[in-house]
Amino acid sequence: MARHQNSMTVGLSVAQWPAPIRKRWLEATTEGDVLFDGGAASHWRAKTRHTNAQAFGQFIRFMQEHSLLESEDLCPDCLKEPALRHFVDQLRNRVAPASALSLLRRTSAVLRLLYPELDRSLLKLAITRLDHTAKANGKALSVLPSPDELLLVGLDLMGSWQDRAVHDRRINAADYRNGLIIAFLALRPIRLGNLAQMQIGRHIDLATQPVRVAFEDFEVKGRKMLAFDWPKELEEQLGFYLSDIRPMLVHHPRVLRAMWPSLHNRPMNESGIYTAIAKATRSRLGYKVTPHIFRDSAATFISELVPERAHLAAGVLQHASFKTTRAHYIRGQQHNAVCRYRDLIDRIVQETFDERIN
């Protein structure tokens, strides 16, 4: 018996959209060439198109199920109070405030693109109010952990990877893998999407010394190539991971190149890495630290340690402008910023270790 798919969890794919709506979408996302300009959304990255279409697919399905389409097309009533309130209420009942906010923002972006004539004022109001709710719920951390604290969490997890009594040693191997992910992210706070896509031979060059990590411009959110050295502090851990740990997790051809293979014979996806980091940090720190908080930690660390060089944070986090990091714009090259951040971390880590030894 087929399971019922609720419109709040599974939306319609683009192929399932009513013809008038699908036609607008295809025209807006058409790529340009030397003779013709592309559609209004031709500049959207593939991932942006996919996530926006997913969110809008939920909106369309809801409107369709509640008979709010006119001739299979959206109408002004779709964004008036009764319909919009019902949609937002159902959304909030099924997902967390932050997720609901993201879905509404993406829906609004598509509506602005496909139906600029529709009044989105109520939708904008809902987004603003939900934004306050999401921020209130997100204030779980009273103290932001520093990069060296996060690094020590990763090192501790790797150091105790065999301590847990489990029926499958691959679970112990996964603990070591998670520790390496956390330590790596503490020293190199890249975006979760890039972390999940890491492949040996493509993004990680083991033939160089030191090991080089690089992402092409089309793989990075800012459309600028990202390249840096593997952290010197984790060279020994990387070697052990590649020689002893990772082979325990590789049991299928599709994970032969994956840097972070899961226990399910496929590369870890963003959700899997997010969950692993959250569980490990909650266990050792007493509160959950998400991958994005590693980036917040890096920016805050730089701003507090060397406030006159706070602009370095934009380069470390691959931001096009320091406005994104809530301050003034960046100066200097991204590579230099990453190197300086690494040097600052090295100094703090060494001081921390010296204090523990003494």
CATH classification of the domain holding 294:
1.10.443.10
Structural domains of the chain, count: 2
Q: What is the largest CA-CA distance in the chain?
A: 76
Same-domain status, 311 and 352 = yes
Residue 122 in domain: yes
Same-domain status, 126 and 214 = no
Q: For the residues 235-245, what does the mean pLDDT come to?
A: 96
- Residue 131: is its pLDDT beyond 70? yes
Give me the residues paired with residue 228 across strands: 213
What values do phi and psi take at 107, rounded to 5? Answer: -65, -45
Same-domain status, 88 and 159 = no
Residue 1 in domain: no
pLDDT digits (tens, 9 = 90+) for 74-91: 988 889 988 999 999 888
Same-domain status, 199 and 276 = yes
| Three-state SS at 191 | coil
Residue 2 in domain: no
- Where helices occur in the chain by DSSP H, the ranges are 19-29, 46-65, 81-94, 97-114, 121-137, 147-159, 169-187, 192-197, 235-240, 246-249, 270-285, 291-305, 312-316, 334-357
- Residue 337: is its pLDDT beyond 80? no
Same-domain status, 347 and 259 = yes
Residue 99 in domain: yes
Question: Before 210, cis peptide (omega within 30)?
Answer: yes
- Residue 335: is its pLDDT beyond 50? no
Same-domain status, 335 and 187 = yes
Q: For the residues 249-255, what does the mean pLDDT come to?
A: 86
The average confidence (pLDDT) of the chain is 82
| Range of the structural domain that residue 21 is part of | 14-137
| One-letter identity of residue 317 | L
Q: Where residue 350 falls among pLDDT bands split at 50, 70, 90?
A: low
pLDDT at 45: 86
Final residue belonging to a domain, choices 110, 137, 164: 137
Same-domain status, 123 and 238 = no
Q: Where residue 304 falls among pLDDT bands split at 50, 70, 90?
A: low
Final residue belonging to a domain, choices 76, 107, 137: 137
Same-domain status, 192 and 218 = yes
Residue 226 in domain: yes
Final residue belonging to a domain, choices 95, 112, 137: 137
pLDDT at 135: 63
Residue 4 in domain: no
